[in-house]
Amino acid sequence: MRNRNFKRLLSAVMAGVMTLGILTGCSGGSEEAKTDESGATVIKFGIHVANPAEQEVVTYNIVEAFNKANEGKYKVEFEAADTETHSKNMKLKAEDGSLPQIFWIEGSEASEYSEAGVLLDLSEFLNENGNVKEALGGMEEAFVDDNGQFGLPYQCNVQGIFYNKELFDNAKVDYPTDETTYDEFIEMIGKLKESGVIPLAIGSKNSAYAMWEFNEFLARYGWEGNIDNILSGKDKFNNKELTACFEKLEGLKDAGSFPENMATIEYFDAKQLFNEGKAAMFGTGQWDCAEFDKNIGDKIGFWWGPKFTDTQSSQEIVMKVPSAPIGVSAKVADDEKLKEGVYEFLKFYYGEEAAKLSYEGSIFPATSYDGAAASDSQYAMNAMIEALANGWASPKAAPDLTVSSAVQEALYDGIFGVLQGTYKPAEALDKIDAALANSQ
């Protein structure tokens, strides 16, 4: 079965299709530790950006700090490629047994790598390093299945809506709070629009990067409690709760919330509208905090999004979730020296020094340590920390990372199809159901 499914996957990869089938991990010999000219054991880290030094600065700095502390003993080297190329490369390398020792995995594909048997169970690592497990505080639980601990969170993602206080003040609109309802949100949008600004900047040309605030919508309509029944066939996406959710998305469209050219601009274009003071709100995560500190400064605010009154699902939900995981090649277990080096790197990556480096780069680490925190001048990050102080629960994973890549793509298409007026809510949800049926 695995070989047949893998051939289907490989055909898809060669055709440029991003839908993931089941991997096999069937070929290749034992893993052997390689050393550089200094005698250091080399550990390859497959990362999803072409230039880590510029595009994943925090991770780059953590690796540099580890290499400096372990000079002559261990050295981590990046295998870098843009996200799409990285994803294809990892699938091919899983097939021929040449996966890097550590690699970033697209969240919607992670469980399939695990099912293929190409990932090392990291339960032993966590059992041997209780301080790391404690610091993760349950973040690791998103990446556990019948095969064990198949991955650990690359970072922690805090997702929601940033807003420009100055533009709200100019429009004489009160800042949103934890108690702001959807109807109040619509009123807010109308007043902001009347003031001459775009209420909510979105660029849906690359919808996977415009999803952030809508994960909260899905969560507040009971996604976490219902998704298992949907995926097992006991329920459908086109149900009462998600229909109400998608109707609220349609309401945002009808209120004129977005840029008129939303369909033809990208995430980065929409962010620029926010940075330039042309848009009052922008949905994103902590990865943009440093940029907002520079452009908006202490006028930045952060909000989880509106509460909904037409559902029985909990509204006291925040979106502080593990990002996509990093996994370790199962072949690392073949060489004790290499395994020791990988474990040492993971100890460092999830340790306090790395957490401090993360905060310095305005990124929430997956871990929590008393000695790691944002500085007073990190305004955007502190706005997020203030929002988290309500103590509300968070789902184990962001809704869009709990489904397969085929269903995820249909989810994005459905949401932004409704926002653009291409689909009615029921039509969009039917298309997601069809994607699920076709992927099984």
Q: Do 177 and 289 share a domain, yes or no?
A: yes
Q: Do 148 and 162 share a domain, yes or no?
A: no
Return d(Cα 164, Cα 166) in angstroms, integer. Answer: 5
Give the tens place of pLDDT for each residue, 217-259: 999 999 999 999 999 999 999 999 999 999 999 999 999 999 9
Domain assignment present for 370: no
Domain assignment present for 64: yes
Q: Do 265 and 406 share a domain, yes or no?
A: yes
Q: Do 29 and 148 share a domain, yes or no?
A: yes
Q: Do 199 and 104 share a domain, yes or no?
A: no
Domain assignment present for 316: yes
Q: What's the mean per-residue pLDDT of the chain?
A: 91
pLDDT for res 10: 44
Domain assignment present for 221: yes
Domain assignment present for 434: yes
Residue 161 predicted with pLDDT over 60: yes
Tokens representing 123?
């339960």
Q: Do 57 and 128 share a domain, yes or no?
A: yes
Tell me the whole-structure pTM to 2 decimals: 0.86
Residue 20 pLDDT level (bands cut at 50, 70, 90) = very low
Tokens representing 105?
């995995």
Q: Do 309 and 339 share a domain, yes or no?
A: no
Give the tens place of pLDDT for each residue, 316-350: 999 999 999 999 999 999 999 999 999 999 999 99
Q: Do 280 and 208 share a domain, yes or no?
A: yes
Residue 116 pLDDT level (bands cut at 50, 70, 90) = very high
Q: What is the mean pLDDT of residues 255-268?
A: 94
Q: Do 110 and 67 share a domain, yes or no?
A: yes
Specify the number of domains making up the chain.
Answer: 2
Give the tens place of pLDDT for each residue, 367-426: 999 989 999 999 999 999 999 999 999 999 999 999 988 999 999 999 999 999 999 999
Residue span of the structural domain in which 336 resides: 2-153+324-365
Nearest to 47 by CA among 32, 68, 30, 62: 62
Domain assignment present for 371: no
Could you give the angle at the alpha carbon of 422 between the alpha carbons of 416 and 427, nearest 5°? 90
Q: Do 199 and 298 share a domain, yes or no?
A: yes
Higher-scoring residue by pLDDT: 218, 19: 218
Q: Do 220 and 251 share a domain, yes or no?
A: yes
Tokens representing 211?
């999803």
Domain assignment present for 174: yes
Residue 62 predicted with pLDDT over 70: yes
| 204 contact partners, CB below 8 Å, separation of at least 6 | 210, 262, 263, 265, 416, 419, 420
Residue 29 pLDDT level (bands cut at 50, 70, 90) = low
CATH number at residue 204: 3.40.190.10
What is the number of H-type helices and E-type strands within the chain? 19, 13
Q: Do 67 and 206 share a domain, yes or no?
A: no
pLDDT for res 290: 92
Domain assignment present for 28: yes
Return d(Cα 110, Cα 118) in angstroms, integer. Answer: 11
Return d(Cα 344, Cα 125) in angstroms, integer. Answer: 10
Neighbours of 376 (CB within 10 A): 7
